[in-house]
Amino acid sequence: MRSLSPQVVLSFMKKEFRQLSRTRAMLFLVFGAPLIQVLILGFAVTNEVKHVKLYIEDRDNSALSRTLQQSFSSTDRFNLIDNPDNIKATDLINDWKTQVVLTIPPGFGKDLTLYRKPALQVMVDGLDGNSAAVALSYVQGIIATFIKSELTDTRKYPPDAIFIKAMPAQVEIQDRMWYNLDLNSPQYIVPGLVVILVTIISMMVSAMSLVKEKEIGTLEQLMVTPVRKSELLLGKLIPYWLISLFEISFVMTAAHFIFRIHFAGNIFTMGLLAAVYLLTTLGLGILVSTATSTQQQAMFFAWFLMVFMLLLSGFFVPVRNMPISIQYLTLLNPMRYFMNIAREVIIKGNELKYLWNEALALFVYGFAIFSISVAKFRKVTK
Amino acid sequence: MPDNSKSLMIQTTDLTKRFGRFTAVDKLNLSIEKGEIFGFLGANGAGKTTAIRMLCGLLKPTSGTAVVADCDITHQSEQLKTRIGYMSQRFALYEDLTVKENVLFYSGIYQVETSRALSVAEELLSEMGIDLGSKALTSSLPLGFKQRLALTCSLLHDPRLLFLDEPTSGVDPQARRAFWNVINRLAEKGKTVIVTTHFMDEAEYCHRVVIMQEGKAIALGEPAVLKNEHSVPNMQQLFLKLVS
């Protein structure tokens, strides 16, 4: 058997580029769509909890309870809502009128001035557990600050005011977040989004490429030529690989200007690892392409794979929060590694030497997937 | 075994293909000489295309052997592919490429020198008035042009054997006539041409034909001889008589 010919691979590459440049829908899919998606999703997908609807049921109506109310109205975390019709608190939550209800019992102000231990009730709509927990911690924080300031400003610490002991009077925590100082949500979300978009598009495009030729009959024509399987598959893979690399840079640059994403790491490290990662997604696309016979089937398979990759990538749910068995499963997911890499490099500015494990895993997967595609692809039908 | 095996382009021995319990080609024995225009006739599903696909090395036979262009189709299928040209009824061209780009692509994968490929293409295309330098995409060409272009692309590497699977389906009579003229000229130059067709008038142009039914060869020979044997005026009636 003759060796792999660069001339043949090059012929395929030229052909693919020419075809791509003439298909408007493809051009849009590759360049327009990701830009629009990153724009919309970058703003929409956020893990910040802001403007939570809060109803304060003030049964005390004292000077202190009103001051407490003011602490809530002076932050953008909460939107205070009115209840002129005096609807029951639980009904307000059921009716989606409010997400949090804070009940100040009668005698709250008095108890506080008398150093007794007043109680407050907080009710949170736990439908979205994550937001609920965050909102609850905001409430606790505001109340703690309120009590602390009320007590430190106006009176000495009385020995029997038990709740004060919970306050760290001597040790004061001054927190400073590293890598994402002002907890800018897009800074965290957008790199992940770019990973997702590039995965989807590279996989779709390569899954379609070969199966499309099956449909129009050109693949059969290629099978009667002396072209080698690896030449054919490389000729398909390399153009889409170059395009996807360009696409990553393009979307990242756009994100930098739109969302003020700070690129902390080395761009070449990112480029190198992206290049290795794309081998796995394009390889999977080609594998899907060899295993299916129509574009519809290929599309279906590609989606199936992608949903799994997405859910197990750590984009929505951090991998360490998953059950142990599922965590092992994520080791099979190339996207998980690249999600990690993208965040480490872009947000933290991590260096290549700390990312060897991920890089190696991606490289092995890419190589294995491509080899399986070549092996699975048959020129002669049995 | 005939002693003229040196001049044989194709020789099959009990060539058989089964798909599950369905026998598509049943013990086909053929000897096709160099320079012959040989026709496979038969209704749809008679096994013509399956037979051709085996002879091209696209499909593995279930049993039996065949030697095509001095290559064993089971063990030397890759070598075989450098020696044959193949054109299917679907005219496997890239519709979003221009004529020249199609030619360049196929010459690239056959590793034929560009200048040589272009001169072969020029010669085959100019008489039909197809301009190699045209910017028009293949999708905009009439079917007859596409057929000619597909033929051209399968001839770029100068194969000694050409397989045409229903090459004239859907093409108008004038283009069909022109196409057969080209096929005749190729045969005169010493190329062997294997054609499948269900146009019985085209069968008259073949040097020899085999008529297939349910995977079996039910008649084999020169059209004139076959017509005489069964005392029918044309191939159409011969076919109907044999098949019914």
User: What pLDDT, in 10s, does the model give residues A48-97?
Assistant: 778 889 999 989 888 888 888 888 888 888 888 888 888 888 888 888 88
Dmax over Cα atoms in chain B, in whole Å? Answer: 53
| Residue A320 touches partner B, C-beta closer than 8 Å | no
Q: Within a domain: residue B130?
A: yes
* Span B41-59, average pLDDT: 90
> Half-sphere exposure of A209 toward its Cβ, with a 13 Å CA cutoff?
29
Of A7, A15, A220, the CB nearest to B97: A15
| Residue A227 touches partner B, C-beta closer than 8 Å | yes
| Residue B88 touches partner A, C-beta closer than 8 Å | yes
Of A8, A10, A226, the CB nearest to B78: A226
Separation of alpha carbons A146 and A139, rounded Å: 11
Q: Within a domain: residue B200?
A: no
- Residue B115: predicted pLDDT: 92
Q: Within a domain: residue B96?
A: yes
Nearest residue in B to A15, CA atom: B105
Residue B137's domain comprises 91-158
- Is residue A35 within 8 Å of A255, Cβ to Cβ? no
What's the CATH number for A52-165? 3.40.1710.10
| Residue A312 touches partner B, C-beta closer than 8 Å | no
- Residue A84: predicted pLDDT: 82
Q: Within a domain: residue B239?
A: no
Q: Identity (one letter) of the amino acid at B10? A: I
Residues from chain B that touch A19, judged by Cβ atoms under 8 A, are 94, 96-97
Nearest residue in A to B157, CA atom: A225
Q: Which of B109, B110, B147, B151 to mutate to test the interface with A (most CBs of A within 10 A)?
A: B109
**Contact flag B106-A218 (C-beta cutoff 8 Å):** no
- Residue A165: predicted pLDDT: 44
- Residue A170: predicted pLDDT: 52
- Residue B132: predicted pLDDT: 85
The minimum CA-CA distance between A381 and chain B, rounded to whole Å, is 5
| Residue B101 touches partner A, C-beta closer than 8 Å | yes
- Report which of B165, B92, B21 is spatially closest to residue A220, judged by C-alpha positions: B92
Of A222, A226, A382, the CB nearest to B82: A226
Q: Within a domain: residue B39?
A: no
Chain mean pLDDT for chain B: 89
| Residue A379 touches partner B, C-beta closer than 8 Å | yes
Q: Within a domain: residue B60?
A: no
Residues from chain A that touch B91, judged by Cβ atoms under 8 A, are 217
ipTM of the complex: 0.89
**Contact flag B109-A8 (C-beta cutoff 8 Å):** yes
- Report which of B27, B86, B89 is spatially closest to residue B214, judged by C-alpha positions: B27
- Residue A131: predicted pLDDT: 84
Q: Within a domain: residue B109?
A: yes
Of B60, B81, B105, the CB nearest to A15: B105
How many structural domains is chain B composed of? 1
Tokens 């091209």 map to which residue? B56
- Residue B10: predicted pLDDT: 94
pLDDT single digits (tens) B86-121? 998 888 899 999 999 999 999 999 999 999 999 989
> What is the dihedral sign for C-alpha B42, B45, B46, B47?
positive
- Residue A168: predicted pLDDT: 47
- Residue A116: predicted pLDDT: 76
Q: Within a domain: residue B4?
A: no
**Contact flag B60-A381 (C-beta cutoff 8 Å):** yes
**Contact flag B108-A10 (C-beta cutoff 8 Å):** yes
- Residue A189: predicted pLDDT: 84
Tokens 């005096």 map to which residue? A86
Of B78, B88, B109, the CB nearest to A220: B88
Q: Which of A221, A228, A232 to mutate to test the interface with B (most CBs of B within 10 A)?
A: A221
Grade residue B2 by pLDDT with cuts at 50, 70 and 90: very low
**Contact flag A216-B111 (C-beta cutoff 8 Å):** no
| Residue B86 touches partner A, C-beta closer than 8 Å | yes
Delimiting residues of CATH 3.40.1710.10 domain(s) in chain A: 52-165
**Contact flag A19-B96 (C-beta cutoff 8 Å):** yes
Positions in chain A whose pLDDT score sits under 70:
1, 47, 151-175, 177, 180-183, 382
Grade residue B71 by pLDDT with cuts at 50, 70 and 90: very high
